[in-house]
Every structure is written in C-alpha cells, then in structure tokens.
Amino acid sequence: MRGMSSQGLAVLANPAGHASHVRVRVRDGAGGWVNLSQLEGRDFLDAVEVDESVDQPVSASTVTLKRQIDFFSLAPLRADSKLNANNGQLIRPGREFIVEAAVSPVGMSPSAGEWHLLFHGVIDEVDFPDEQLVFRGRDLGGRLQDVMIEVERPYGDSVAGVEVEAVMQSILADSGTGVLLHTPVAPGWKIRRYAQRKASVLDALRDLAQQIGWEVRYRWREASASFVLTFSEPQRVNPSLAWTFAPGDYRNVPKLALNKTEVRNKIEVVYSDVGDLDVARQTKRKSVVVEDAASQAAYGVRYMQLAEDASSNINRELEARKMADAALSDLKEPLADQEIELDFFLPVELGDLYRFRANGAHYSDDQNLAVTSFRHAFTSEGDALTTITTRGKPSFGVSVWLEMDTRPGLSEPVHTLPPLDPLNVAVTAIVNGFSLSLTPALSGPPVASFELHISTSSGFAPSSSTLRGTFDTTVFGASDLMPGTAYFVRVVPRDRFGNRGNASPQFEVVPKKLDGASLGDSAVGFQHLLYPPTDNLIPNGYNEAGLRAVGKLPEGDKLVEDPINARSGRWVRRVELSNVGAWPGLSWTGGYGSAAPGGRLKCSPGDQFFAEVYVKASSATVSGMGNLHLLWEDANGVYSGQTAVVGVG
C-alpha cells in the first residue's frame, strides 16, 4: 500500500467520511505543466478514470473534458483557439499527462502536501465529436510497449551467467529508452546466453520475469516520489495485512463468486536441461511436476502444462520447479473473486492484502483478500469511487498463467513424443565404407534428422563415442573405414524439438577392398613419360613418332623409314660409328652424349628401368659390335662411373 501522512490516513479512517479531490495536468509544447482545472480561469475537467490490473502490463487513464468554454476550445484541430496557439496543440497524442488526487476532511480543501500523484502517462488517442473531449492514455510502460527491439542481440553468458536484472537493463539501454530498472530484491537468477528476438521492449522484459513468476511494471516508489519501472515478485508467502474494511466502510459488493474453472492443482513445466546433453550434444527435454493434494481432494485433479522452448532461460530443474511452484500457488484454489465499491481509497496498490470484516450477508467470517485490480472514478459532480477486485492472495495474474497453458486451442502444445522407427533400412558395402538408405516412419512426429552410430562391437549401445554424425537425408553413410573389417551400424531418428526415437536394430557390414572390378573403364588414366620426337622410352616409340619426328633434334635427325630391317613397324634409328671407341650420341632423354639439352629420368630407390635395343649392322663386323652402356647420376647429378654395361653383337 502506498504511503500517506498520518493526517491523510486519519482522514481515510474517519467514520464520517472524507472529501476527494482530483486534478489533471498536461505538459505543453514548452515543457510546462498546464492544470486543466485552472485553464484561463476556467475548469475544463469533467471526469477522470484510472485503471490498473495484474492481467494488464500497463495501467490506463481516461480523462473527459469540456471541449469548449466560451471562446476557448481544446479541440486539437482548432488552430484559432488561444489554447492551441502559443505552444501547439495542447491536447494531442504524445503529450504527457498526470493525474493527481488528494483527500481531506469533508468541507475542507487539501494542503499542497496532501496531493499525490495517481497516474503518469502519455496520451494515445483523442476523441472530440460532441460537446466533450475525451482522451485516453497508458502509463509510461506504454512507451516501452511502443519501442520495438529492431536488431536481435545475444544476452547472458553461457559459462557464468548474468543476473537477469542486468540483462533487462542492457535491453533497455540497447533500445535507447533511457529507462532505469528498479529491483528492490534481486531474485538471484542468472541468465545464460540466448538470442533476444524482435519484440516490444516491455514484452521482452516481461517474458524474462514471467519465467520465474515475477513481474515488470511501473509502480510507485516512495524514495523517488515517482512511478518507476520495477522488477519484483508478488508477495505470495505470508503477505502482511495492509488495511481492514468494516461493513460500513464500503458501498456495495457488485460481484462475489467462487468458480473452479481456473483452478489448476497439478502443474508440469517442460524445459530443456543444459546440464544434461544427449549423444548429439543437444539438451535433453525434461519436466518437473508439482501438485497440491488438498486441492485435488476438493476439486479433482486439474492439470496444466507449461512448455519452455529450447531458447528459454528456464533450463535447469531448480528454475523449472520455481516456476511450477509459483503457478501452483496462484492457481490451486478457487479463491473468492470479489468486486467491492468504496469511497475513493487513494493508497491502494496491486497485491495489497485487505481484510473485509464479516457482514452477515456475503460471508460470516472475516476474509483476507488481495488486490488484483482497481479503478478510480471521479465525476464532475464531485463523487469519487474506488472499485477494488480481489482474490485470495497476491499473485502474478491468473490469466497470464492460463495463457501459457499448452492445452489444444490455447498455447502451442509441448512436443514430447519421439519419432517412430525408420522403415526399410538397407546397408550396402562399398570400398572403404558403406551406404545406408532408409524410409522415415509413415506416422508419428515428423523426423528432422537421423543419428548414425558405428562400432566394431556387436550389440553396442549408441553413445557420443559411437556417433558418426547427424543427417537430414534418407541416404548417407561412411567412406573412411578399414576394408575387410566387420562394422555394426545403428540409426536413431530425431525430431526438431530434440526428441530421440528408438535406436534401430544393428546392421553388420564389411567394407570392400579396391579391386579391378570396382573400377570403371575410364577410372584410371595413363600418360607417356616422353612425347614425340623423343618417345624412345615407349615400346616401339619410333613408330609412334613416325614422320612427325623426321629431321628433328635430338632423335629425329637419324630417323629413317626402313620397314624391311625394322624389328617392328616401319621406322628405325640409324647409328653411325665414325671411329673406333667413339660415342655415337645415342640418348633416350637427350642427356649424356646428346648435343641437345635434355632432361633426366628421375628415379627413387627401388625403381627399375628396362632398355631394349635391336641393332643391325650395315657391314660385316669382325667381332663384337660394341658395348651398350646405361649410365645414371648420383644424388648430386654426377655420373661418377655409375654404369651398367652389356655387349652388343
């Protein structure tokens, strides 16, 4: 309950009643506050209403004015009115306004210190078709509703976490609101890294608060004498009594009902546990259930499920249980839903616990009920009425919880049923691996991907050590296995919500070795080491070069067409021995003894080379025709006498 002076509290408690006063001020274009009850010496104010409810994120106010008095008009489109001439339209959307109220003994005026700020907001709409001008506005939280998060940003920390109130303040700062968040008592809840989606700033803050059953709204703060954005927990446990109303203190009870429709006494919260990952390193879906036996005995089991998605910061059992306990506390009893009318009661706040004395008509025992909404209404006749709606105890708001219920027709249902087993699984051995094909189950939840598990142990259980990968196709496999070794294969279906189905039966497969039958006709290519006109190292290379090589150095200069003497084909190489012991300059590579620069045949230890020479002498020889030398260089490119010799003829 809001604080008041002892004099003000005494006025409210006076059995003789009290006088109520209200005024509305609007901030003009110059930044000054204009009192609509003292505007150009005239009172334009007719009526004021202020509404606030736990089921609405912002409070609202409706102000009714006289549209025109004498020649002074408040109509925004009357540019000729003096009220709109100096600093622009006085009453228009976007203008700030405040509602102030005071109480005093009957027949007396309030002192300056007895005026209290009742509402501070911004005009949203102006309606002026008749003799009255009506404008409506939301409190300062309306600005946060209007500011959108335009860029998705990450918040929190995956290792240490960040206090939720610090994350909220970062969201406010990044959105350029300039608003400071007030947290009377920190919840001690740290946020892990998550991506903040595009939404209104107020929705983003309330979504975080809602996960632990807390709330974010503008509330009165005595220390600053202003409404500030406040992050707080409803006082669900042992709330203190704020005020007592005797039967003569209120005018009427227009509503008092008991209804079990909104009772929920078994609450399940489904969440993704970041502390327990499956074999694919994805969070496992878990749930906690809390229930109230006394409520179930009285009203039967009334179940509700709250499903947090994978991006929620409810990602551990402790957090999920706290959320479930808060929901159960707010919903387990069909608490009396009472609406009561009384003289203007200035200090009322959401969550206040009031005692209503037995009146012999509605209840025989005193009732302790908490405020869930209130409405102040001031009329031009001077009447001031406060209507208070109460339930059993302070709560986050019944409708807010019920909107999160995952029953069909309400919110998105939680998905916990895993996909069914795949059909027609076939494993085919290939070289160094296998290919697997399957058909997803024709019924059940849609499959998003398949885990592939491989082991050399028969009867193995799929685990992170056997996981080869996840695939979103119906044909996949492996190609880096050991040929000839027996492998065992299993697949596990997954859906997009992280649910894993049963592992398939194991399939045995032995990868093939590479053999000739595995190769196509064009799978292996070849290339001559040398090309014409130096194709000597290719069997019958002269014939392959043929006429194209004739007369070309270093080999074609001695090339002649001699089909009669050629060992095969039509072309032979003529070697002239001009002097005994001379080197004829025969070189396969244009190397040793060749006048033309040539290359070398590079070799490595273990390589083998074969040379075949067919020689026909042009005249009779007395003895051997000579020696054929095969020379090779050492690692330094020096011959150093390294040679192999064979006699010719």
Q: What's the pLDDT tens digit per position in 163-204?
A: 999 999 999 999 999 999 999 999 999 988 888 989 999 999
Query: Taking residues 262-290, what's their average pLDDT?
Result: 84
Helices (H), 247-368: 293-299, 317-331
Q: Report pLDDT for 406.
A: 58
Q: Report pLDDT for 102.
A: 93
Residue 645, classified by CB atoms within 10 Å of its CB into exposed (0-12), middle (13-18) or buried (19+), is: exposed
- Three-state secondary structure call for residue 31: coil
Buried b (16+ CB within 10 A) or exposed e, 418-435: bbbbbeebebebeeebbe
Tell which phi-psi region holds residue 626, choosing left (phi > 0), alpha (psi between -120 and 50) or beta.
Answer: left
Say if residue 408's pLDDT is above 50. Answer: no
CA distance 36 to 393: 38
In this structure, the number of other CB atoms found within 10 A of the CB of residue 629 comes to: 13
Nearest to 355 by CA among 404, 312, 393: 393
Q: Are 306 and 321 in contact (CB under 8 A)?
A: no
CA distance 463 to 476: 19
Q: Which residues are paired to 492 by β-bridges?
A: 451
Say if residue 157's pLDDT is above 80. Answer: yes
Query: What is the token pair recorded at 398?
Result: 């019944």
Query: Taking residues 560-588, what's their average pLDDT?
Result: 65
Helices (H), 381-470: 398-403
Q: Report pLDDT for 335.
A: 66
Q: Are 462 and 418 in contact (CB under 8 A)?
A: no
**Lowest-pLDDT range of 184-188, 212-216, 612-616, 627-631:** 612-616
Q: Which amino acid is at 232?
A: S
Q: How far is CA 389 from CA 219, 261, 279, 351, 498, in A?
A: 18, 18, 52, 11, 43
Q: Report pLDDT for 578.
A: 58
- Three-state secondary structure call for residue 12: helix
What strand order describes the sheet that includes 283-291? 283-291, 266-277, 303-307
Q: Report pLDDT for 471.
A: 92
Query: What is the token pair recorded at 79?
Result: 């540019």
Q: Report pLDDT for 313.
A: 75
In this structure, the number of other CB atoms found within 10 A of the CB of residue 43 comes to: 15
Domain ranges of the chain: 6-139+244-257+336-395, 144-232, 258-333, 423-517, 528-649
Q: Are 60 and 118 in contact (CB under 8 A)?
A: no
Q: Report pLDDT for 591.
A: 39
Query: Taking residues 452-478, what's their average pLDDT?
Result: 93
Q: Report pLDDT for 530.
A: 38
Query: What is the token pair recorded at 180?
Result: 């400071």
- 617: confidence class by pLDDT, cuts 50, 70, 90: low
CA distance 122 to 137: 5
- Three-state secondary structure call for residue 116: strand
Give the helix/strand (H/E) hosting 261.
none
Nearest 5°: phi and psi at 129? Answer: -80, -25
Q: Report pLDDT for 618.
A: 61
CA distance 279 to 449: 14
Q: State the DSSP code for 265.
A: -
Q: Report pLDDT for 536.
A: 43
Q: Angle, nearest 10°, between helix axes 164-174 and 201-210?
A: 170
**Lowest-pLDDT range of 121-130, 260-269, 633-642:** 633-642
Mean pLDDT estimate for the chain? 83
Q: Report pLDDT for 555.
A: 56
Q: Report pLDDT for 229.
A: 98
Query: What is the token pair recorded at 647?
Result: 């006699």
Span 144-232: which CATH code? 3.55.50.10
- Of the chain, the percentage scoring pLDDT greater than 70 comes to 79
- Three-state secondary structure call for residue 543: helix
- Write a three-state SS string for 214-225: CEEEEEEECCCC
Q: Report pLDDT for 527.
A: 45
Buried b (16+ CB within 10 A) or exposed e, 449-486: bbbbbbbeeeebebeeebbbebeeeeebbbeebeeeee
Give the helix/strand (H/E) hosting 210.
helix 201-210
Query: What is the token pair recorded at 328?
Result: 């159960």
Q: How does strand 487-494 pair with strand 449-455?
A: antiparallel
Q: Is the dihedral of CA 514, 515, 516, 518 positive or negative?
A: negative
Say if residue 272's pLDDT is above 90. Answer: no
CA distance 582 to 310: 89
**Lowest-pLDDT range of 109-113, 228-232, 280-284, 449-453:** 280-284
Query: What is the token pair recorded at 418?
Result: 């895993």
Q: State the DSSP code for 610.
A: -
Nearest to 469 by CA among 458, 460, 480, 459: 480
Q: Which residues are paired to 68 by β-bridges?
A: 73
Q: Report pLDDT for 577.
A: 58
Q: Report pLDDT for 311.
A: 57
Q: Report pLDDT for 62.
A: 97
| CATH classification (class only), 6-139+244-257+336-395 | mainly beta
- Write a three-state SS string for 160-192: CCEEHHHHHHHHHHHCCCCCCCECCCCCCCEEC
Q: Are 531 and 586 in contact (CB under 8 A)?
A: no
Query: Would you give the distance in Å from CA 467 to the centre of its chain?
Result: 25
CA distance 35 to 77: 20
CA distance 649 to 644: 17
Q: How does strand 241-245 pair with strand 353-356?
A: parallel
CA distance 476 to 487: 16
pLDDT tens-digit series, residues 365-403: 888 888 989 999 999 888 999 999 988 766 666 767 777
Query: What is the token pair recorded at 146?
Result: 């209007």
If you search the block for the tokens 């051995």, which residue do you land on?
429
Query: Taking residues 47-66, what's their average pLDDT?
Result: 95
Q: Which residues are paired to 454 by β-bridges?
A: 489
pLDDT tens-digit series, residues 339-350: 899 999 999 999
Q: Are 276 and 283 in contact (CB under 8 A)?
A: yes
Say if residue 586's pLDDT is above 70. Answer: no
pLDDT tens-digit series, residues 500-547: 899 999 999 999 988 766 666 555 554 444 344 444 444 455 566 667
**Which comes out higher in pLDDT, residue 644 or 544?**
644
Say if residue 590's pLDDT is above 50. Answer: no
**Lowest-pLDDT range of 40-54, 327-341, 467-481:** 327-341
Span 423-517: which CATH code? 2.60.40.10
- 643: confidence class by pLDDT, cuts 50, 70, 90: confident
CA angle 223, 227, 233 (to 5 degrees): 85
HSE-CB at 399 with a 13 A cutoff on CA atoms is 7
Say if residue 300's pLDDT is above 50. Answer: yes
Say if residue 550's pLDDT is above 80. Answer: no
pLDDT tens-digit series, residues 425-439: 999 999 999 999 999
Whether residue 554 has a cis bond before it, omega within 30° of 0? yes
Q: How far is CA 211 from CA 191, 272, 401, in A?
A: 11, 13, 10
Say if residue 554's pLDDT is above 70. Answer: no
CA distance 26 to 35: 7
**Which comes out higher in pLDDT, residue 547 or 81?**
81
**Dihedral angle computed from the Cα positions of residues 23, 26, 31 and 34, in that order, rounded to the nearest 10 degrees:** -50
